[in-house]
Every structure is written in structure tokens, then in C-alpha cells.
């Protein structure tokens, strides 16, 4: 029987590359996102794909999507909790509180809601257990200039990862986090043109192929029972992270 994974934010970027990587490896993949057409493009007609359009911030819709996947597959092995959003570079006084709340809603509440749904399914299935992989960021460690909403949200994701990892022990549910730096997706194209630095300058930054991220998630997801990558940082080698600021 093929392994099973649900990937959120699967309609573009890292989510799309990761979904296609797992499908190519013979996994059954549930693709979650708000845009059904984009999810179908990511699925690319593969037989193992299950398109599950929903908003990760809608707990009822998320629960229904996870229940549908569990009913169709018989079990859920892995969640890649990938969906996220950000804001343009702004100092704290320029950030609209409603926009701050929107980032927290997606990047924190959405991650919690999906982890909650996966935990529920994994705890109830027989044999019990599974694996949850949260998409953090190098911003979970050090901020970029003008990124208070995104940085706050990614620090919170680390808290979710640690809590789920601890609470999952009794139920054979592992939880880890991948912290990504400068993977080249539509969101990261700006890196190739010049982005703000801590010294006030604008500089082009090195980027890496998003496939590297997908391959790392595959490694994390494929570990044997009883082993876990708790945290891993995957980044463009020469990006300004070590020494940022």
C-alpha cells in the first residue's frame, strides 16, 4: 500500500514542487489550498492525487478534508503543513493591524488547525501514529528588516512544532520543522532583484532550487518509525542568514 501525505498550500511554490515530488515517488497525495484550479495544475492528472480545496483557516472545512482523505486512503501517514503568507517590507508603525492579524491567521492559526486535524486522525487510526512536518523559515530564528508579522508568525510555528512533538509521543506522532531560506519560488523572485538589508542597503541575494526543499521534506517523511528530524535548516549557501543583522 502506498504511503499517504496531505500537503497544504499545494497550489503553488514549494507546495506544488513537493506535491509533484511525492506523486512521482508513488505516494498518494492530498492537495489542500483555496484555488481548486491551481491544485489540479499541481496534481497534473496523477492518479495518486486527491484534490481537497479548502481554506486552512476554516476548521470545519479542514476537518472535512482530512476526514475525506482518511476515508479514501484508510490512513494518513504524513502532513506537510506548508501554507503561509507574508506582507511587503514595512516598519512596525506602518503595518496595518488587520494585515498583521491576517498573517497570524494563516501562518499560525492555519498551521494549528491543520496540525490539530492531522493529530486527530493519526491518534484514532490503527496502527496509531504518523508524522507532521511544519514549514517554518529562517525567520523563525532571525528577522529580515520590516518583517514583524511574518517573523512573529514563524516564531509561533516553532512553538507549535515543539508542543506537537511533545504531545505526540504518547500516540506515536512525530513532529518536525523545516526552516527554509531563499528557495526560488514566485514569492522569492524579489531576492534576485534586490531586497532590503539590515544596513539599509538593497542587495541581490543567492537563491536555491525549490526542489531541494521538496527532497528534504521527502527525506523527513520517509524516516523509519522511531526516528525524527526535529529541526532542519535548508538554505541558499551564501544568503545572509548566519551573520544577518
Residue closest to 112 by CA, chosen among 162, 71, 76: 162
Answer yes or no: is pLDDT of 2 > 90. no
The residue from 150, 180, 216, 218 that is catalytic is 150
Model-level pTM? 0.95
204, 107 Cβ separation under 8 angstroms: no
Residue 130 appears among annotated catalytic residues: no
> pLDDT per residue over 14-58, tens digit each?
999 999 999 999 999 999 999 999 999 999 999 999 999 999 999
pLDDT at position 161 is: 98
Calpha distance 158→108 (Å, rounded): 10
Q: What is the mean pLDDT of the chain?
A: 95
The label of the residue with cell 499517504 reads 4
Residue 223: predicted pLDDT: 97
C-beta separation of 238 from 206 below 8 A: yes
pLDDT tier, 244 (very low <50, low <70, confident <90, very high otherwise): low
Q: Above 70 in pLDDT, residue 243?
A: no
Backbone phi, then psi, for 177, in 5-degree steps? -140, 135
Classify domain 4-235 by CATH architecture: 3-Layer(aba) Sandwich (3.40)
Give residue limits of the domains in the chain: 4-235
- Structural Rg of the chain based on CA atoms: 17
Amino acid at each position: 500500500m502506498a504511503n499517504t501525505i496531505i500537503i497544504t498550500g499545494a497550489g503553488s511554490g514549494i507546495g506544488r514542487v513537493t506535491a509533484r515530488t511525492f506523486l512521482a515517488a508513488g505516494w498518494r497525495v492530498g492537495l489542500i489550498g483555496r484555488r481548486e484550479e491551481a491544485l489540479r495544475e499541481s496534481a497534473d492528472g496523477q492518479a495518486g492525487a486527491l484534490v481537497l480545496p479548502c481554506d486552512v483557516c476554516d476548521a470545519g472545512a479542514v476537518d472535512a478534508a482530512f476526514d475525506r482523505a482518511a476515508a479514501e486512503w484508510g490512513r494518513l501517514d504524513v502532513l506537510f503543513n506548508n501554507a503561509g503568507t507574508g506582507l511587503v517590507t514595512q516598519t512596525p508603525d506602518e503595518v496595518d493591524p488587520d494585515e498583521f492579524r491576517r498573517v497570524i491567521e494563516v501562518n499560525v492559526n492555519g498551521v494549528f488547525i491543520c496540525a490539530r486535524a492531522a493529530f486527530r486522525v493519526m491518534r484514532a487510526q490503527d496502527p496509531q501514529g504518523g508524522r507532521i512536518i511544519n514549514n517554518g523559515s529562517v525567520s523563525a530564528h532571525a528577522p529580515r528588516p520590516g518583517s514583524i508579522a511574518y517573523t512573529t508568525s514563524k516564531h509561533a510555528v516553532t512553538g507549535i512544532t515543539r508542543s506537537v512533538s511533545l504531545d505526540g509521543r504518547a500516540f506515536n506522532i512525530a513532529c518536525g520543522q523545516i526552516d527554509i531560506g531563499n528557495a526560488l519560488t514566485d514569492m522569492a523572485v524579489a531576492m534576485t532583484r534586490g531586497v532590503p538589508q539590515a544596513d539599509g542597503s538593497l542587495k541581490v541575494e543567492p537563491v536555491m532550487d525549490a526542489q531541494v526543499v521538496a527532497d528534504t521534506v521527502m527525506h523527513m517523511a520517509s524516516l523509519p518509525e522511531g526516528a525524527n528530524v526535529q529541526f532542519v535548516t535548508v538554505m541558499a549557501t551564501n544568503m545572509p542568514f548566519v551573520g544577518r543583522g
